[in-house]
A = this chain, B = another copy of it.
Amino acid sequence: MGKYMTNQRRVLLGYLESHRDEQLSAKEIAESLKQDGISQSAVYRNLSALEADGKVHRFTKGGDRESYYQYLDCDECHGQLHFSCCGCGHTFHVSEKVADVLSQALSFGEHFSLDKEETVLYGLCGQCKKKAKVTK
């Protein structure tokens, strides 16, 4: 983050930590923190700083125009492969075991090296898969 630990930053970090399993749009975050007297620009500026520090991951979904952010506090999270469910919108961490299988398959099959941090897989999670079947 920046150099000074201001109140806004404490609040933003707290908010992100308590929503670490969700993918949050900047708008949502700004909306939620408005009540704490934090301006939109502070939210954007601090999110950018956090992104530069590698503390949050910024990405875009499908054909969406807004950016989403997700907290990456733990070291385990860092460099992890993410899976985003198109049904419920939840983001999951793909286990290292599976991520490695993917990575290896790509490497041997195509000579590509996978950037786990940048990549977001899309599809349906287990629960939404069930729902989809029932609905049909």
Residues of A within 8 A of B (CB): 51, 58-65, 67, 83, 85-86, 92, 94-95, 97-98, 101-102, 105-106, 109-115, 118-126, 129
Residues of B within 8 A of A60 (CB): 60-65
Complex: A129 Cα to B123 Cα, angstroms: 28
Complex: A60 Cα to B109 Cα, angstroms: 25
Besides the contacts A65-B65, A101-B102, A119-B123, what 12 more A-B pairs have beta carbons closer than 8 Å?
A51-B63, A58-B63, A60-B62, A65-B67, A86-B118, A95-B109, A98-B105, A98-B109, A105-B105, A111-B126, A115-B123, A121-B121
Residues of B within 8 A of A120 (CB): 119
A86 in contact with B115 (CB, 8 Å): yes
B110 in contact with A83 (CB, 8 Å): yes
- Chain B CB within 10 A, most for which of A59, A123, A126: A123
Complex: A67 Cα to B94 Cα, angstroms: 26
- With A60-B64, A102-B102 as contacts: A114 and B123 at CB distance below 8 Å: yes
Complex: A40 Cα to B60 Cα, angstroms: 24
B59 in contact with A67 (CB, 8 Å): no
- With A64-B60, A112-B126 as contacts: A101 and B101 at CB distance below 8 Å: yes
Q: Which 3 A-B pairs have the closest CB atoms?
A: A111-B126, A98-B109, A118-B122
Complex: A122 Cα to B115 Cα, angstroms: 5
